[in-house]
Chains A and B, each alone.
Chain A
Amino acid sequence: MSSTVTSTRRMTLRQSLALVWRTLRSMRTALVLLLLLGVAAVAGSLVPQVGTSNARILAMFRDHPLRADIYDKLGLFDVFGSWWFTLIYTLLLISLAACLFPRTRAMVRNIRSRPQPSRELDGMRHYAVRPVAAEPERAIADARRVLRRRFFRVAGSNGGGPPALAAEKGLAREVGSLLFHWSFLLILVGMVWGKGTGFTGQAVIVEGQTWTEAAANYDGRINEGRFTGDGDHSGVRIHVDDFTATYRIPSGIPEDFVTHAALYDANGGYVRTVDIRVNHPAEIDGVKFYQFGYGWAPVVDVRQDGEPIASGPVVCTQGPPPPGVSALQLPWNCVVKLPTLTPQVGIRFELWPDSRGLYALLQTGRAMPMLTQFAPVMTYTAYRGDLRAELVQNATVLDTTGMRRWKQGVIGAGETKDLGSGLSVSFPDLRQYTVLEVKRDRGLWIMFLAALLILVGLLPALYSSRRKLWVTAEPDGRGSVVKVGGFALQRRSQFEEEFAKLVDELTGTSRDRVGAL
């Protein structure tokens, strides 16, 4: 009794597995999944996505909290990274593979076998009978040569009867189609391998500094793949000589951003000098450097009673500009923290790389775009108190909760200002820093290969057509009667013309030969 139950259950399990497999194998399932992928992509392009439109997502949370919450739960703010998007394309690729395995096996079988002979030519869609001067063997041998020259696969008949042959052409259609479809699985391989063992990070490098490619030097601005380890970082070095941003004046339309740099290998050996621009990345040891952004880094020198306590370039940043204002019109912000002093001191700087920008704002109330460095000037506000350094803090933000405002002023390039209590600040130089996107992707060549195979496969899959042809010859007086039958599986109307031409050629060659003798 119990054994019957288990066997039934086992059967149903096997049956249901077979059903799932059958469903996955059907082209309709694959097409439905492809359609779903398209629909999901539409959603991903209409709903603001994390990474590309963060501001719009925040605005939605503010204005329509309920809707934003539902969207968030459904993963609509990160469609392309959501579990259901991954599920759709994984299922699609499994379904694709399930379709392709049997097709590939059939294809291989088909290539190995030879065209099958047939005797019932008059039932074919296309059929012609012609007398020729040559005897049957000769006529068939000629036909074979003609068809071979036209890239038909030809097989002669074996086992008695009058001479005959079978021919076919257009296997490229199926081969191309299979190549095209398999390549999508190759894309998955390239993507997983490349992203899994690679990384994308951002390096902030001030002019004159050297930066070493290692996980610790990204200041957390790095995304690593699941299998990326320290061994995947290259240790190459890049020395930035100079960064130049060119704008068209007066429109402020960007013209060029260039980082002039020298590359060194992991042992410190000089490799070459490069200009990194938008669209022109530099590559060394499989690591690529892309021009990503830039900013200003004033050199600030702080002294206590003439002794330097903080000195060097300080990286300034900008917040997002309010609507209607260009980032070029805004000043740059940075912070210097002096935790060794008692009481502790923090100085906030606001940098105007072109001092005319500040004066224009003061005089007219409207800032002008600062396109180049011109008599740079900084306003500063010094605070005294507790920096609260024991809390995790952003280096570019000053937390003034435990501090009191102490001194305020303006400092121009080359000037020194006394803050009192023996503390002085000087601004000897203004430099720029460049932000380079640093990237390693070992799967790129696989992706490239897959893309190439997609195109190579697509052309015969769309334009080639499968055609079959049979020829027999029977003796008739001194010559013979040639019968030709055939059909095309695709492009039938075109085959009609081709068939007529082929028949002429198949029977005409023999005639010409006789004429020439």
Chain B
Amino acid sequence: MSTEQWSRLSTDAFNVALFAYIAGMIGYFYYLAFRRQLAWRSASLAAFLGLSAHALSVAARGFAAGRVPWGNMYEYSSLLALLVVACYLFVVEGVFKVRLLGGFVLAFSVLTMAIAVMFLYVGPGPLVPALNSYWIKIHVVAAITGSSLFALGCIVTILYLAKDRRERRSAAVVAPIMGGSVDLDDAPPHFEAGADEPVGGATRRGILPPAAVLDRVAYRTIAFAFPIWTFAVIAGAIWAEQAWGRYWGWDPKETWSFITWVIFAGYLHARATSGWRGRRAAVIALVGFASLLVTYYAVNLWIVGLHSYAGV
């Protein structure tokens, strides 16, 4: 196949994936609200279809350019979105058996892909000399895997904060309304759909998994991402030593990836410190996610530095 054909295939598959993700997102949200098994089945089917099309798109892009498909921001964003969905489907649904978060994860990927295709698209082409190294395989793969896991962890963290707030409220309010004996030291009350609900109970029904579960999933994901991110920073330093003759030069990309690392290191320490677990640690994780976004988008697009050419 010619370059143009591969390129067209990549774009078409990208669009198929995008629409499949949107369909999956709607399905997952429907499942979240109404808990119909069928909704979950079709949503995850759509997500898997989207994932396959997405993988095809990334591979075709690699063939079109004749190199690894993560050489510029469009390609990086696309791969990031793919890995977030893949991690969700295989780790969160597969290993943790948590099915309720698909809508949020797909929404993140759809947003990332939309930004990529609207603002960052460039045609396939060879790499500039500074990027032409086998370290692009090691450093960028580690960075992209770490970022997608951080992103996933932070989506779950946001949901944890929302759910935790609701649980605290209902723990404080529900007991007197019910007039029964709810042991506040126990796990917060969780109502099944259709169970004997208190007045106005619809709003208090557990839409999301319990906060404790969300907290654990978020922590595990971030703790999994942290060593990968550490490795990405180290691999970047080794590459910088080869390309620019110094392993660390406080270039904006280096600085921001370090800041992100520091914040998530702070998060992990906070988790191990009494009084900082839970909501406070969650807030640190969100700050870390903001820093990750700066590392990726702002540094490439607005801050001048050595990684600028890696931009659009």
Question: Residues of A with Cβ closer than 8 Å to B?
Answer: 27, 31, 34-35, 37-38, 41-42, 44-46, 49, 52-53, 56, 79-80, 200, 248, 253-257, 277-281, 288, 290, 292, 437, 439, 444, 447-448, 451, 454-455, 458-459, 462-463, 493
Q: How far is the CB of A437 from chain B (nearest CB, A)?
A: 5
Instruction: Give the residue name and chain of the B residue nearest to A200 (CB).
Output: B245
Q: Could you say which of B30-38, B160-168, B223-231 contacts chain A?
A: B223-231
Interface residues of chain A: helix, strand, loop or mixed (majority):
helix
Contact B128 A254 (CB under 8 A): yes
In angstroms, Cα B135 to Cα A281, docked, is 14
Contact A257 B227 (CB under 8 A): no
Contact A27 B227 (CB under 8 A): no
Contact A279 B130 (CB under 8 A): yes
Taking CB atoms, residues of chain A closer than 8 Å to B265 are: 34
Q: Does B169 contact A (CB under 8 A)?
A: no
Taking CB atoms, residues of chain A closer than 8 Å to B231 are: 455
Interface residues of chain B: helix, strand, loop or mixed (majority):
helix
The 8 A-B pairs of least Cβ separation, nearest first, read A279-B133, A38-B262, A45-B255, A290-B245, A278-B129, A451-B234, A80-B250, A437-B245
Taking CB atoms, residues of chain A closer than 8 Å to B234 are: 451, 454-455
Contact B255 A27 (CB under 8 A): no
Taking CB atoms, residues of chain B closer than 8 Å to A439 are: 245-246
Additional A-B contact list (15), CB under 8 Å, known A200-B246, A281-B245: A27-B273, A31-B266, A38-B258, A45-B252, A45-B299, A79-B250, A80-B250, A200-B245, A257-B129, A278-B243, A279-B132, A290-B244, A444-B247, A455-B231, A458-B230
Of A37, A254, A455, A463, which is within 8 A of B262 by CB?
A37
Taking CB atoms, residues of chain B closer than 8 Å to A290 are: 243-245
Q: How far is the CB of A329 from chain B (nearest CB, A)?
A: 19
Contact A254 B129 (CB under 8 A): yes
Of A45, A79, A277, which is within 8 A of B129 by CB?
A277
Contact A454 B244 (CB under 8 A): no
In angstroms, Cα B259 to Cα A444, docked, is 23
List B residues 271-288 near A (Cβ within 8 Å): 273
In angstroms, Cα B273 to Cα A373, docked, is 66
Contact B230 A454 (CB under 8 A): yes
Contact B269 A253 (CB under 8 A): no
We find that the number of chain B residues with CB closer than 8 angstroms to chain A is 43
Task: From B133, B259, B266, B269, name the one whose CB has the most chain A CB atoms within 10 angstroms.
Answer: B259
Answer whether A462 and B129 are a contact pair too, CB < 8 Å, given A44-B250, A455-B234.
Answer: no
Task: From A248, A451, A459, name the one whose CB has the most chain B CB atoms within 10 angstroms.
Answer: A451
Contact B227 A458 (CB under 8 A): yes
Q: Does B268 contact A (CB under 8 A)?
A: yes
Contact B226 A458 (CB under 8 A): yes
Question: Residues of B with Cβ closer than 8 Å to A?
Answer: 126, 128-130, 132-133, 135, 216, 223, 226-227, 230-231, 234, 237-238, 241-247, 249-252, 255-256, 258-259, 262-263, 265-266, 268-269, 273, 299, 303-306
In angstroms, Cα B259 to Cα A459, docked, is 21
Contact A44 B243 (CB under 8 A): no
Contact B241 A255 (CB under 8 A): no
Contact A52 B305 (CB under 8 A): yes
Taking CB atoms, residues of chain B closer than 8 Å to A31 are: 266, 269
Answer whether A279 and B227 are a contact pair too, CB < 8 Å, given A45-B303, A52-B251, A253-B128.
Answer: no
Answer whether A27 and B243 are a contact pair too, CB < 8 Å, given A279-B130, A454-B234, A455-B227.
Answer: no
Answer whether A279 and B250 are a contact pair too, CB < 8 Å, given A31-B266, A38-B263, A458-B226.
Answer: no
In angstroms, Cα B246 to Cα A437, docked, is 10
In angstroms, Cα B255 to Cα A358, docked, is 42
Taking CB atoms, residues of chain B closer than 8 Å to A253 are: 128
In angstroms, Cα B239 to Cα A279, docked, is 8
Answer whether A444 and B241 are a contact pair too, CB < 8 Å, given A41-B258, A45-B256, A279-B133.
Answer: yes
Pick 17 A–B contacts, CB within 8 A, sort by A: A34-B262, A38-B263, A41-B250, A41-B262, A52-B306, A53-B304, A278-B132, A279-B129, A279-B132, A290-B243, A290-B245, A292-B245, A439-B245, A444-B247, A451-B238, A455-B227, A458-B230
Q: How far is the CB of B33 from chain A (nearest CB, A)?
A: 29
In angstroms, Cα B263 to Cα A288, docked, is 35
Q: How far is the CB of B142 from chain A (nearest CB, A)?
A: 11
Q: How far is the CB of B291 from chain A (nearest CB, A)?
A: 8
Instruction: Give the residue name and chain of the B residue nearest to A251 (CB).
Output: B125
Q: How far is the CB of B298 from chain A (nearest CB, A)?
A: 9
Contact B268 A462 (CB under 8 A): yes
Q: How far is the CB of B159 from chain A (nearest CB, A)?
A: 20
Taking CB atoms, residues of chain B closer than 8 Å to A451 are: 234, 237-238
Q: How far is the CB of A77 from chain B (nearest CB, A)?
A: 13
Instruction: Give the residue name and chain of the B residue nearest to A291 (CB).
Output: B129
Q: How far is the CB of B304 from chain A (nearest CB, A)?
A: 6
Contact A459 B227 (CB under 8 A): yes
Contact B273 A44 (CB under 8 A): no
Contact B255 A44 (CB under 8 A): yes
In angstroms, Cα B244 to Cα A277, docked, is 11
Q: How far is the CB of B20 from chain A (nearest CB, A)?
A: 34
Task: From B132, B227, B265, name the one whose CB has the most chain A CB atoms within 10 angstroms.
Answer: B227
Taking CB atoms, residues of chain A closer than 8 Å to B269 are: 27, 31
Contact A35 B262 (CB under 8 A): yes
Contact B129 A447 (CB under 8 A): no
In angstroms, Cα B243 to Cα A292, docked, is 9
Contact A42 B259 (CB under 8 A): yes
Contact B230 A455 (CB under 8 A): yes
Instruction: Give the residue name and chain of the B residue nearest to A194 (CB).
Output: B247
Instruction: Give the residue name and chain of the A residue nearest to B243 (CB).
Output: A279
In angstroms, Cα B255 to Cα A459, docked, is 24
Q: How far is the CB of A176 from chain B (nearest CB, A)?
A: 11
In angstroms, Cα B252 to Cα A320, docked, is 22
Contact A462 B223 (CB under 8 A): yes
Contact B126 A255 (CB under 8 A): yes
Contact B250 A49 (CB under 8 A): yes
In angstroms, Cα B227 to Cα A97, docked, is 22
Q: How far is the CB of B272 from chain A (nearest CB, A)?
A: 9
